[in-house]
A = this chain, B = another copy of it.
Amino acid sequence: MSYFDAASSAPLHPVARQALLASLDEGWADPSRLYREGRRARLLLDAAREAAAEAVGCRPDELTFTSSGTRAVHSGIAGALAGRRRIGRHLIVSAVEHSSVLHSAELFEVTEVPVSRTGAVSAQSYVDALRPDTALACLQSANHEVGTVQPVAEVAAVCRQAGVPLLVDAAQSLGWGPVEGEWSLLTASAHKWGGPSGVGLLAVKKGVRFSPQGPADERESGRAPGFENLPAIVAAAASLRAVRAEAAQEAVRLRELTARIRARVPRLVPDVDVVGDPEKRLPGIVTFSCLYVDGETLLHELDREGFSVSSGSSCTSSTLTPSHVLKAMGVLSEGNVRVSLPPGATSEEVERFLEVLPGAVAAVREKLGAPTPSAVVREDSLVVDALGKRCPIPVIELAKVIGDVPVGGTVRVLSDDEAARLDIPAWCEMREQEYAGEEPAENGTAYVIRRIR
């Protein structure tokens, strides 16, 4: 039984558990009351704020506890934009932000900054996106799906020069260390570092114009309405200190384990693409995509073998479109697996994962290998009718017939699955074939591939 999905939610850290238990008895009263139970709750809240602020790298009065990381992002973006509404309603985000950032951004005028094939932005692309009416820029400290660390300090510097505040979504990295550079706002989520669910952080540096949105509420400086979730806040702050104390050592250990996966998966499994930056990355995350594999079926196979991982594939039940992160990186999304190791993950677990993975991938490929392409020879070109077939079938059928056309000939894959738009070009890149573009076709799209080797 190995839980390898810490990037979704980490198991509760023992210190979080202890702190939560201790403060259940001390911290249930209203901290705004003046009687002894209220004063005791206030003391706990103040101490938690001080500890968390120190870990974040801000002043206690700059830090607000929200009810989740998502709420911190929603409130942070809405408040920062409202605070600068005289400047304009334009904001800049990277194309690989968490959905909470992208969904907030949808409500405004947004420019999405592109990323490299490893998933990183450049400071220059933020410079290029800046406009006179830019009210806010957002950048994650590190990507949640592929682990790539972003150049936050550089982007913060160019934003500062332009007088635009930068909001950093530090959800994936805050447990590992403070965010570098002169950011203006910062958000985070306790359950990502082993704290309890129900607690997010929103830091707003002094001097940043901020106007909380929604109905007025006197709690948490008016930035997080509702009764304070005090036991969870105490547990969040205590566990943040605890994971930070262990971070340097644990980072080295997990980095070695994920490096092992990065190096060995391509040797153990044919037709695999390991994605994300090989160096500038979080210690615990490694992501790869397997050609001709349905992500959901693979997750199911791995779950049966005792491994809990997640997938940014289009072929998972939680979503029908491929991961926007993999899409923005321009890498293969099919058969995608994200391994995110929790602190304490062992070498033995990783070895066992590497043992079972090749068999699991092979089993899925065998299951999917059956369909016969309905291919019709037409001079130097073949047409594969994959209409109505879902990822990864269109790519599997393409791979089966590419050898049937002469070098220089083309294959036209007819598909109505949105994932094909991403996966067929990615397959071409992996296979060193030429992707010649797409054309509208009856009931779908024709993707044209020219055989060049």
Contacts and interface: CB of A to CB of B under 8 A. Distances in A.
Contacts of A29: 3, 5, 8-9, 308
B38 A215 contact: no
Nearest to A300: B34
A197 B231 contact: yes
**Size range of the chain A interface in the assembly:** 35 or more
Interface string A1-21: 101010011111000010011
A125 interface: no
Contacts of A28: 9-12, 191, 196-197
Nearest to A29: B9
A17 B24 contact: yes
Contacts of A216: 103, 106
Interface string A212-238: 001111000000011111111000000
Interface stretch (A66-74, A258-266, A282-290, A424-432): A66-74
A231 B104 CA distance: 27
B33 A227 contact: no
B189 A227 contact: yes
B24 A20 contact: yes
A318 interface: yes
Contact of A225 (B10, B33, B71): B71
A392 interface: no
Interface of A: 1, 3, 5, 8-12, 17, 20-21, 24-25, 28-30, 32-38, 67-71, 74, 78, 99-100, 103-104, 106-107, 189, 191, 196-198, 200, 214-217, 225-232, 296, 299-300, 302-303, 307-310, 316-318
Given A70-B217, A107-B215, 15 more contacts: A3-B37, A5-B35, A8-B33, A9-B227, A28-B196, A35-B302, A37-B308, A67-B68, A67-B229, A68-B229, A69-B227, A70-B227, A100-B215, A103-B217, A196-B229
